[in-house]
Structures are given as structure tokens and as C-alpha cells.
Chain A
Amino acid sequence: MIFISLELREGIYRKVFKFNNKNNLIFSDKNSKGKTTLLRLMLYSLGYNIPSTQKIDFKNFETTLTIENNGKQYTIFRQNNTICFLNNDNQRKYILPYEFNEFLSIILKTENESILNNLLGAFYFDQEKGWTLLNRGSVIGKNSFYIEDLIRGLSNRDCSDLLESANDIKFQIDKYKKMYDLSEYKRQLESENTVSSTSAKELLIDDLSIITNKISNINKEIKSINSILKENEEFIKYIEDSCISIKIEGIDELIPVNRQTIYSYTDNMDFILARKSLLLSEKIELTKQLSQYNKKLKEEDSLIDTKTLIEEFDANIMMIDLDQVAVQNVIKKLQEERNKILKIIKEKTKTNNDVIQFIYSHVKKYARQLQMEEYITEDKDYIFTKELKGLSGAVLHKLVFIFKMAYLKAIEKYLDLKLPIILDSPKGREVDKINVDAMFDILNNEFSEHQIIIASIFKDYNMNFNHTITIKNLLMDGSEIHIAKDD
């Protein structure tokens, strides 16, 4: 497959990029000029679900891409989520991303979804993720690559039913895991005792009413005491107003009968006043407590919106009857079942599969050329390796290149399809010139019949570029102003 040209229209602006069928360089002397954007627009115009770059929204573009595959030219028009062929008997518009594979299969002459879903990861090296995607992972946006899937596709081993079952079981496992999380949450609630039949606010209101009640009782008592004091005062006043005196034999002086001289009057008064004083002290303390509780209640009220939702949620959770152990057992059984299916899929994929051997042998070959043999084990299952953590930036960079070149060779052999090789910033941050040159040697020697498109701020690659697109300032710089005609 070869990119021939790409016409971009953004509003009234139009620009056309042409490509050579061999080696192309998209160059700018500085970063952030639009090289990556151009590469991504090329893929976008082919129908791939590619995220926009900063400041440019691909949805605002109408793209017309001309490509050639197996001697046939295709002109593809894309506008937002619809794509169609312009020079084809097929007038149908395809809705993206749902009908993308159906669309792509017309160009590539294969309906094998395992292949169609995993091509992008083989031929496109994205600036960000492309140089760390070895055999599984995200290519760009929602596009992903799985070596097992590609191998199944190339070897025509259909495991779609099994994969569907495995996915269904995974879906169930996820659901049960959520149930388990809920039951765990409920268990925590129970142990923390945070949820009871009464909310924090209700407890506060309870305490408040107890204190209010106590204060009310004290007020009644004080009222009663005041009534007694009044009665006693009236009594003693009556006596004093009567001006009664006492004459004691042997003492000349008359002793007046008043509150000072009446036996136990002052004691009685002192007692009553002491009782009143104690009640008043108690009332002061209770009033302070009341004030504090009222303050807390106001604070509770200010949180009420969020807290009410959380409280409601917690209360509902508490009502759910979940047997945590039973859920765990179900999860375990489902996982076992899924693992069995995955094992079958694995066996179906790997047993007597020439594609695996083919890819492995090419990985070894290119590793030799890049002096990376020490990283490749003798087991062909090495191509399924998941051990990437210990690999340095430069080592991984080269391994990724090796693996993808091997994929491209396998796609070429088993599908008779030479895909264009698109590399965004092949120098990377950590790879020295010797290694870059070695990589380009492989491209020159092994992939001379593939279209190669490089985007870089460097020109000094070990490659003769047949065509260079220079972006000086912005992608749409120098574009024509074009009023679109209705076709």
C-alpha cells in the first residue's frame, strides 16, 4: 500500500501534500511545526480513529486521500465520522469507527478482523507510544496491538467465539468484583459503626433535646424557688410589720422579732439561696453545652447536601444482603473458567504455528544486525515476552523496531501486503547515530520495496529521500484559499 497524496481542507483553506512511492521525509528545523499532525492526518484520512493534536481539531478537516494497493488506486474522502470512496463503484458512506474494518477490508482485500485490528501497530511508529510498543499495548488513541491477535489472523486460526466467551466471562467477573467491593465497603461501614439507624444530625438533635429538657426543668425549679422566696418574704414581712418584741426575764432590753432574731430564718434562707445558686450554675453549664451543640448542628446543616447523599448511599448499602464469601467463590470460579478458555486460545494460537517461527526468525535476524542478540532468547515464544521493565530506553527503542520489522515481513508474506512504514522521530532521545544508521540499513536493505515516510527535525539519515516535505511554520501555511463547490 502506498500513500500518493493528501488534500486537506479546513474551512476555506486547502493544501495538498504529495508523496513519493519510496522514501519520504517530512522535515521542519524545529519542533511543534506540524509534522506529527500531518502523519496523524494521513492515518485519520484513511479512516483510523486518531486523536487530534493540540490546537488542531481533525473534525474541522475534510480530507481526500489517494492511495494505491496492489495496482489499484483509491480516493478516499473523509468528513468527521463519515468516509467514502470517491472513484469507486461503491458509493456507500461508512460510519466511523463502527464500519471501519468493513471499509478497510475493501482496500486490503481481507475481512480478517484479527489482521485489520492489528495493522496500525505494525507499520506506524507514533512519536509518543510507537517506540515503546513491543508486542502488546496502545498504538495511538483507542487503537491497540496484540501480537497473539495478529498471529491468529495471519495463520487464519479463528478463536473469535472463544474470545467472545472469555470477554463475556470477564464482563461478569468485573461485575462480581464490583459487588465484592460493595460488600467490602459494607463490612467497613459495619466495623466503623458509622451508619446506624440515626444520622449524626439526629444524634445531635437528641442530645440537644435532652439538654433543653434539663434546662427547662431547672427553670421550673428556679421558678418554684422564687415562689417560695416570695412567700417566705411575705411571711417575714408580715411579722416584722407587726413589730413584735420579746421580753426575757432578767434582760431589760426588748428583743425585736425580725428576720435576724427569728430562729433558723437566715439558715432557711441561706439554704434556699444556695440551692438556687447551684441550679443557676448547672443552668450556665448546660447553656454553654447547648450553644456548642447548636454550633455543631449548624455545621452539620452546612454539610447537609453532600452528607445526605453519602448517608443515603451508606444506608442503602447497609440494606444490601451480600454474601461476601459467595461472591468471592463465584469470582474464583469464573476466573478459572476464563483461564481455561484463554489457555485453549493460547494453545490454538501457538501450536504448530509457522507464523510464530517466521516472526521469531526475523526478530533474531534483525537483532543480529543491531547487535541485540543477547536480548533474544532461544525460545520462539520469546516474541510473546512481557518482560520489558528491565530494558533501557535505547534497548527498547531498538527492540521495538526489530519486532515491528518482523511483523511487517510476516504481513508481507502471509497477506501479500507491503504496508507503508511511517516513523515519527526515529532518532528518539536515547539512540545514538550508529544504531540509527543500523536501523536505516535494515530499512534500506530489507524494506526497499516499501514506502517509507519519516517525520523528523533531522535530515542526516542513512537514507536517500526521494521526496522531502518541508514545514516551515504551520501545517496549513501557504495554503490556497478555496471556496468548496458542491460535488
Chain B
Amino acid sequence: MTNNRNASSSAFGWDFQVNSAIFLFLKNIEMAQNIKVEGKKEDIEISLNDNSMIYAQAKSVVDPNDKRNLRTKLEKAVESLNDACDTNCKLIYVTNSNNPFVSETNSFDKVTYLKFSELSQSEQEFIISCVNNKKLENFNYSDFYILDIPFHGEDLENRYKYIKEKVNDFFADIKVSSDNYARKILDVWQGLFFHNSTQNKIIISKEEFLWPLVVLFCENVDISWLCEKYEESLVIDVFRTYEKTIVSCSENFKLVTKIINKFARFNSSQLGNKKFLDYIEKHYMEYRDDIDVYHEDPICKDIVIQLIIYRILCKRSDIMKLKGGTSL
């Protein structure tokens, strides 16, 4: 029987819970399908694509050196996680304390993710005693993990330091240049989870979680490559004037499908970005009738066309990287 252990957190506790959810979701992004914060059973619930579940309890302390009630919290978490798990699940206790067991043989330093067998003897003994005291007959020690994320301070840069590191690691895994996106996407994800928690029935899917990342990448598409061909001030001026048109056209599916399919059949000795530029250089004139841009100066029209094509190709590339790296 699952007891209802949903509880409202203080602002700090809530912040920790949300960021723990982001951390865990990124950690399990390839296998993850969706995530719920403040779920029916646990603080964090992640569904995996093999039908298994991750249940996590996130318990924080404002002062990481505060040792009061840590063991009590851990004991309650063990019981709660056990109740949540029916079959085939991973149970994770997430904390920000630098010594969650108040142990002399502390296993935790910075971001630490340990399974039960990796804990020190005294730490293992404590878990065993919790299980015995609460008579948790079905508790599977091999499914139990502890995740410690340093998370403290009034200054948010400091507080989110290790969450941002996880985000940057994620960017590196999917081979995307991070370029200060970490803070921006963290804001978006935190907002997503906040909105999610206030509506009990909504689950955030992997798609909902990851697509904002692509949107963010596309916001800062590079235009400097055109400045080698045209005057910089002209390129900037055209870009600013026609930015909305460029965005709008690059989402028009008729044009998108034409460009990406033609590009797929384009042969070039260049790779990556350079292949895009090569294609644009050789084929942009073919799209003069497809892209309706009014300008007296035909050069300006050509600049717009090339920017549209480049945006479409970059977007496609980012989507492919994200899908490849996250099994989206």
C-alpha cells in the first residue's frame, strides 16, 4: 500500500527537488520517456522506455554542514521508496548534505552517485538497520542508490554550479557547443517543472523537455559567414529587418522539406558547417521563386534567402544531434 507522502517543500527544498529532477532526467536521458515531480508516489518519478521506473526522494538542508535529522530523513526515505516500488524500479535518495549518513567513513564528496554496495560498511549497516526496523521485507538493496549533489548558497550561480556542469556535460555528450546556453536552458527547464508540479496530472515527456533546447540553439544562428561575401553592415541590417521573415520561412514545411532533401543528395568534400556553406553558395539561386521577399535590391533578397537556407540546415543538424544523443 502506498502512503501518500506528497508534501509541500520550503522554497529551498523545492528548488533542490526541481534541480534534482533535471539532474536525474539528464543522467537517464537516453532511456527516459517522461518525468513527474511531486508525483503520486514520490518526489521524482521517471518512466524508462523498458517499462521500469526510477523513484527518487530529494531531501535537502540549507546548510550542508547541518547534521540534524539527516539519518531520520534517510530512514523515512528508505521506507517511502520501498513503498513506492512495485516491480522493476530503481530507488534513489537524493541529498545535498556533505555527509548524509553522519558517518566517520563518509563516502560523499562533491557530486557522488553510489549504489548500496559502494557505501562504506557503517553506511550499509545503517541502511540495513532502517530496513529491519521498518520491516521492509521486499527491499532490494541492489536497486538502492544515493545521489549527493552539492547545492547551497544564496547566490544562484553558486547554488546551481553542479547542475550547470551536468547540463554542459550533456551538451558535450550530444556534441553541441554550449555557448552559455546552460543557464538559459536551466531557466526554461526549471520553469517547466514548476508549471508541471502545480498540475498533478501532467507529465513532462522527453520531447517536451528537449525541444526547447533546439529552439534555444536556433535563436543564435551565426551570420558572420555572410560577412565574407557581403558588407557586414548590410548583412546585419538585412538580418534585423527580415529576422521575422527568416524565422517564419525556415518553419514552412514545404520549403524545409525541399531544402533538407535536396541537401541530403548534395555531394561535397566539406563536412559539417562548411558543407552547409558550400551547398548555399552553389544552390541558393534555385530558391529565388520559393522565397517571397520584397526588396528593391536583389542583393538583399539573396542575403535573406541564404540566411533562411542556413537556418534550416543548422536546425536540422541540431535536431539530429539531439535525437542521436538522447534517443529522442
A231 to B252, CA, bound (A): 7
User: Quick check: B211 and A271 within 8 Å, CB to CB?
Assistant: yes
With both beta carbons as reference points, the residue of chain A lying nearest to B320 in the complex is identified as A267
Q: Given A274-B212, A277-B212, A278-B188, do A264 and B316 touch, yes or no (CB 8 Å)?
A: yes
Q: Using C-beta atoms within 8 Å of the partner chain, give the interface range for chain A.
A: 20 to 34
A52 to B202, CA, bound (A): 80
A224 to B257, CA, bound (A): 20
Q: Using C-beta atoms within 8 Å of the partner chain, give the interface range for chain B.
A: 20 to 34
Interface assignment of B244: CB less than 8 Å from any CB of chain A: yes
A278 to B257, CA, bound (A): 24
Question: A residues 276-298 with Cβ under 8 Å of B?
Answer: 277-278, 281, 285
With both beta carbons as reference points, the residue of chain B lying nearest to A271 in the complex is identified as B214
User: Quick check: A274 and B214 within 8 Å, CB to CB?
Assistant: yes
User: Quick check: B215 and A281 within 8 Å, CB to CB?
Assistant: no
With both beta carbons as reference points, the residue of chain A lying nearest to B213 in the complex is identified as A274
User: Quick check: A271 and B315 within 8 Å, CB to CB?
Assistant: yes
Interface assignment of B248: CB less than 8 Å from any CB of chain A: yes
Interface centre among B207, B253, B323 (most CB of A within 10 A): B253
A149 to chain B, nearest CB (A): 68
Interface assignment of A17: CB less than 8 Å from any CB of chain B: no
Interface assignment of A236: CB less than 8 Å from any CB of chain B: yes
User: Quick check: B260 and A278 within 8 Å, CB to CB?
Assistant: no
B-side contacts of A262, CB under 8 Å? 257
Interface assignment of A232: CB less than 8 Å from any CB of chain B: yes
A269 to B192, CA, bound (A): 20
User: Quick check: B215 and A278 within 8 Å, CB to CB?
Assistant: yes
B250 to chain A, nearest CB (A): 9
A-side contacts of B248, CB under 8 Å? 224, 227-228
B-side contacts of A269, CB under 8 Å? 253
Question: A residues 191-236 with Cβ under 8 Å of B?
Answer: 221, 224-225, 227-228, 231-232, 235-236
B248 to chain A, nearest CB (A): 6
B250-268 vs A: 1/0 string, CB under 8 Å? 0111101100110000000
Question: A residues 121-167 with Cβ under 8 Å of B?
Answer: none
B-side contacts of A236, CB under 8 Å? 253
Interface centre among A227, A232, A274, A285 (most CB of B within 10 A): A274
A486 to B34, CA, bound (A): 108
Interface assignment of A270: CB less than 8 Å from any CB of chain B: yes
B189-218 vs A: 1/0 string, CB under 8 Å? 001100100000000000110011011001
Interface assignment of A273: CB less than 8 Å from any CB of chain B: yes
User: Quick check: A264 and B257 within 8 Å, CB to CB?
Assistant: yes
Interface assignment of A414: CB less than 8 Å from any CB of chain B: no
A-side contacts of B260, CB under 8 Å? 263-264
A232 touches which of B214, B247, B253, B261 (Cβ 8 Å): B253
A-side contacts of B251, CB under 8 Å? 225, 228, 232, 268, 271-272, 275
Interface assignment of B102: CB less than 8 Å from any CB of chain A: no
User: Quick check: A264 and B244 within 8 Å, CB to CB?
Assistant: no
User: Quick check: A281 and B253 within 8 Å, CB to CB?
Assistant: no
A228 touches which of B195, B211, B252, B323 (Cβ 8 Å): B252
A232 to B244, CA, bound (A): 17
Q: Given A264-B257, A264-B260, do A271 and B319 touch, yes or no (CB 8 Å)?
A: yes
With both beta carbons as reference points, the residue of chain B lying nearest to A228 in the complex is identified as B251
B-side contacts of A267, CB under 8 Å? 316, 319, 323
Question: B residues 253-303 with Cβ under 8 Å of A?
Answer: 253-254, 256-257, 260-261
A125 to B211, CA, bound (A): 95
Q: Given A228-B248, A281-B195, do A274 and B253 touch, yes or no (CB 8 Å)?
A: no
A-side contacts of B207, CB under 8 Å? 270
Given contacts A224-B244, A263-B257, A264-B319, 8 further A-B contacts (CB under 8 A): A224-B248, A228-B248, A232-B252, A268-B253, A271-B211, A271-B319, A275-B215, A278-B215
Q: Could you show 5 A-B contacts with beta carbons less than 8 Å apart?
A: A264-B257, A271-B214, A275-B251, A278-B212, A281-B191
Interface residues of A (CB under 8 A from B): 221, 224-225, 227-228, 231-232, 235-236, 262-265, 267-275, 277-278, 281, 285
Interface residues of B (CB under 8 A from A): 188, 191-192, 195, 207-208, 211-212, 214-215, 218, 244, 247-248, 251-254, 256-257, 260-261, 315-316, 319, 323
7 closest Cβ pairs, A-B complex: A274-B211, A232-B253, A275-B215, A228-B251, A267-B319, A274-B215, A272-B251
